[in-house]
Amino acid sequence: MWPPEALEFLRELEDNNDRDWFKANRSRYDEQLVAPGRALAEGVGHLGAPKFFRPYNDARFHHRPPIKEQLGIAIGYAGAGGYYVELSLDGLLIGAGIHHPATDQLERFRAAIDDGRRAAAFERAVAQAAAAGMTLVAPELKRAPRGYAVDHPRVDRLRLKNLTLYARHPLEPWLHDERCRERVRTQLDAARPFVAWLGRHVGPSNSG
């Protein structure tokens, strides 16, 4: 899978984060990070087409280094969610769901969680992903959203604002061989019922 040289590239990028250095080393980025990422995405092609995030940060509105210090791949992503893989020096991140749901999407999610039958299907999907090592993000709201009782039986789910599951793996030798491909495929496949649930009960945003 990703060769050890990919991590060496990221370490050097961290120390030399400017456009001139990246331009001079772009071939290493393409060969050591992007090409293995494409091979990984092909192994989960049944989940949808991949989209590779561009390596340049938009620094117009935020103070950020000019080059992203990670490789991000969205897989099968549509308005109702999808899958995500990211390699950085913080580890390998595997995720699924809707990262920043719009207001109307959150409203539909909360209505579904308020319904016992649909909420039970949500919990089954979360449990299947958890059995493969994926974790539902923690709630961001401190209390129940407006319109829901503070003692609602599923108040922790109603407090969610980020509808994603994730697993973060440390950088270990398995990253460089077939075990990486197997781990990514296993965890993303385990998240398929979760993404399907979002597609049925949340759907894409109607705004904009």
pLDDT at residue 208 above 70? Answer: no
- A 10 A CB-CB count for 65 gives 12
- Burial class (CB within 10 angstroms; exposed 0-12, middle 13-18, buried 19+) of 34: middle
Q: Whole-angstrom Cα distance, residue 62 to residue 85? A: 24
Model pLDDT for residues 83-92, shown as the tens digit of each residue: 999 999 999 9
pLDDT at residue 10 above 80? Answer: yes
Using 50, 70 and 90 to split pLDDT, how confident is the model at 63? Answer: confident
Task: Report the predicted TM-score, pTM, of the whole model to 2 decimal places.
Answer: 0.94
| pLDDT at res. 78 | 85
Residue range 157-162: mean pLDDT, rounded: 97
Residue range 176-195: mean pLDDT, rounded: 97
pLDDT above 90 covers what percent of the chain?
A: 92
**Residue the block writes with tokens 């290493």:** 28
Between the CA atoms of 89, 140, 100 and 11, what dihedral angle is there, to the nearest 10 degrees?
Answer: -10
